[in-house]
Amino acid sequence: MESSVLECIGVEIIGVMSPVSICMFLVVLLVYSVSTSSSPDLTIRTAANLVYAENPSDTTAQKLEGALLNAVVFVILIAIVTFLLVLLYYYNCTSFLRHYVRFSAFFVLASMGGSIFLSLIQRFSIPLDSITCFVFLFNFTIVGVLSIFSSAIPIILRQCYMVCLGIIVAAWFTKLPEWTTWTLLVALAVYDLVAVLAPGGPLKLLVDLASSRNEELPALIYEARPTVAPTGRAATLGFLVAGATESGLGSSSIELQVVPTGNEGNRNTHSAGDSVAVVRVEDLRNDEGERSPLVGNVDREEERSPLVEVNRTEREMATREAEEVSERGIKLGLGDFVFYSVLVGRAAMYDLMTVYACYLAIISGLGCTLILLSVCRHALPALPISIALGVLFYFLTRLLMEPFIVGTATNLMMF
């Protein structure tokens, strides 16, 4: 059963890693083309640095203390907002939540996306008048909101706009001070772990409520839905036939075996790894040489065989689980896109070697999380493993690998 689900989920793992990689790549391009070129020391004032504004002249202890305060305050604000969303969802304020999410998407695309768009126009000196710019931005925003929340829009367009939202928000978060950024990433990874897995975690409560109501969460979630449903993932039992063989004088035996039926117009398939149901009946003739009544009832005995029923039940369960995975698809929150991209965006402000190391670490952590998801079969936090590996590889590359590579290259030991 597990192998069939793992096979089914493999395509969806690639379907999640591809948009995450695209999002991180475009954020790195934005960091290089807009942020670092125009004003590298520009920082923004948000809820993430509400308490402490980092100053280059501050000591290391002051920066660390201020960054910790910023991270604690930001996580507390997120927890309060999330519990408020749980409360609203619990009291069936679903329409309000949907309108709130629509407004959030509209604000991000129109305001924050428009600011980045204007920065790109100024950076590359694109000849574009204000009316055309307004019309383009208006259409981009409206189509984006409709694509994200309308079921009639093709899913590929919805996925593209979810990636755009992640790029826009991540590009803004890369403007945070360095110490605040790293402390915030670690704090959010810890919060994500607690919020999803703790018994009273707000995200766990949201997922449990949505599951009990059989509803979709009113949130910005990327869905890696496969385009083609998997076929032949779990084989059915196949035909059972009886064949007589001579086992000695005065006796015979009948073996009931699973026989593959092939693909000639039949739906039932049988793989080499499937178990074989064997029922052996000895001494089919009685003392008078008459045929045993058991032979005539072979088909009915086969239908009632416990081994056959167990095999059939296992295959039905495997088929049902594989179909459920393919129908649901893997869902990844927008925040995961954002903070993966923030990490590689911050690494891009140092050098490309660090970007490569952080990217590989994040993708490896995401792959581990998705494999655990296929095994555990319940919601898992996507930030902790990837962020832990990304932060670890960033500092290892910056403190150890980069000096080693530069030293060997400058001394002509490696080129």
336 classed as catalytic: yes
- pTM, two decimal places: 0.72
Spatial distance between the Cα atoms of 398 and 5, rounded to a whole number of angstroms: 39
Task: Look at strands 239-248 and 251-259 and give their pairing.
Answer: antiparallel
Spatial distance between the Cα atoms of 104 and 112, rounded to a whole number of angstroms: 11
Distance (Å) of CA 176 to CA 276, 280, 309, 353: 62, 74, 61, 22
User: What tens digit of pLDDT does each residue of 15-27 get?
Assistant: 889 999 999 999 9
pLDDT at position 68, please? 93
pLDDT tens by residue, the chain, 415 residues: 444 455 656 677 788 899 999 999 999 999 888 764 445 455 677 778 888 888 888 898 999 999 999 999 999 999 999 999 999 999 989 889 999 999 999 999 999 999 999 989 988 888 989 999 999 999 999 999 998 888 788 888 999 999 999 999 999 898 888 899 999 999 999 999 999 998 888 989 988 888 888 888 878 888 876 444 444 333 323 333 333 333 343 333 333 333 343 444 444 444 444 443 444 444 444 444 454 444 445 445 445 555 555 556 656 665 555 455 444 567 888 889 999 999 999 999 888 889 999 999 999 999 899 888 878 877 889 999 999 999 999 999 998 888 888 788 787 776 5
Distance (Å) of CA 354 to CA 6, 301, 392: 32, 67, 11
In 354-397 the beta strands, taken as DSSP E runs, fall at none
User: What tens digit of pLDDT does each residue of 283-322 get?
Assistant: 444 444 454 444 445 445 445 555 555 556 656 665 555 4
Residues in contact with 81: Cβ distance below 8 Å, sequence separation at least 6, in sequence order: none
Distance (Å) of CA 244 to CA 248, 282, 284, 301, 305: 12, 11, 11, 16, 19
**Residue 52 phi, psi (nearest 5):** -125, 130
283 classed as catalytic: no
pLDDT at position 264, please? 42
pLDDT at position 379, please? 82
pLDDT at position 135, please? 94
List 208, 274, 287, 336, catalytic entry: 336
pLDDT at position 217, please? 81
